[in-house]
Amino acid sequence: MLLRTTSAAVLGLTALTLLTLPGCSNSPSATPGPSSPAATRQKNTTSDETPSEPFSSAALQKLLLDERDLGEGYTLKPETPSHHDDVTVTGCPALEQLGGDAATGGSLNFPRRAKAAFLYAGTSGAEVSEELYSDTEAKLSQGTDRIFDALTSCPSYQVLAGSTPVDVATQRTAAPQLGDERWSLQMTYTAGGRTTVVKQTAIRTGTTVVLVAGSPGLVDTHVDKALAKARSAH
């Protein structure tokens, strides 16, 4: 996997939460689930998958979930410019040495990608995002594995976004038995007396990685839909 900057890729998975945390609140859908002793990465031991060429970003865009796929109560969240200035990480050597200057920039940072985020009216402050990435199978496997390992390398640490300290706690979670490889984790953020929990589940199917992030209940509900739509192009 060729990362432009590893720090941006690793900590970029937290961007959705860090940029919206002040408006978040506790909700039933943000209750942490049981941790799993299994490794974050899980891989099928057998597969009849036939290697295929990576998809273009334009092709991935057409495979993203939309409001019709998600159901009633979801609206597309307008894309807003990201601000990644003055971000530092403390309390986690593995993340500190990667650097925090671009801690909320990018995501998995594969060159071919597409993204959409949705607000859910059924739960205050709840949202879910989907990101699709495509590259060779080896690069997707190695790159995603590296990023999830880094994010779960410390059970807790602190991110300073500007002048706002954000306490972060991470735990590995069991991923659904889908796709060729899968990764899952939950991150609990606390800032200004408010706490929110974000779940991130990534599934690799062939030359595509599907990453669904947001309120744990929404992620669990929609990850199989996202994978099914992504697979429709294979």
CA distance 34 to 178: 19
Q: Tell me: pLDDT of 118 over 50.
A: yes
Average pLDDT, the chain: 77
C-alpha distances (whole Å) from 178 to each of 82, 86, 125 are: 32, 38, 28
Going by the DSSP 8-state scheme, the letter that residue 32 receives in this structure is -
Q: Do the beta carbons of residue 20 and residue 120 sit within 8 Å?
A: no
Sorting pLDDT into bands at 50, 70 and 90, what band is 211? very high
CATH architecture classification, 6-27+35-231: 3-Layer(aba) Sandwich (3.40)
Residue ranges of domains in the chain: 6-27+35-231
User: Residue 151: its pLDDT value, please?
Assistant: 85
Q: Tell me what the mean pLDDT of segment 137-159 comes to.
A: 90
Q: How many CB atoms lie within 10 A of CB 153?
A: 14
pLDDT at 113 over 80: yes
Q: What is the DSSP string of 59-75?
A: HHHTTS--HHHH-TTEE
Task: Encode pLDDT of 50-88 as tens digits.
Answer: 557 899 999 999 999 999 999 999 999 987 665 555 678
104 pLDDT more than 50: no
Sign of CA dihedral 36, 3, 60, 45: negative
Name the DSSP class of 123: S
The answer for residues whose C-beta is within 8 angstroms of residue 83's C-beta and 6 or more apart is 19, 104
pLDDT confidence bin for 108, thresholds 50/70/90: confident
pLDDT surpassing 60 at residue 101: no
What per-residue string of b and e applies to 11-34 under the rule 16 or more CB within 10 Å gives b? bbbbbbbbebbeebeebebbeeee
Dump pLDDT digits (tens) for 183-201. 999 999 999 899 999 999 9
**Residue with more model confidence, 30 or 127:** 127
Q: How many residues are present in the chain?
A: 234
Q: Interior CA angle at 74 toward 72 and 78, to 5°? A: 155
Q: What is the pTM of this model?
A: 0.80
Helices (H), the chain: 6-11, 15-20, 57-61, 67-70, 93-96, 137-151, 216-231
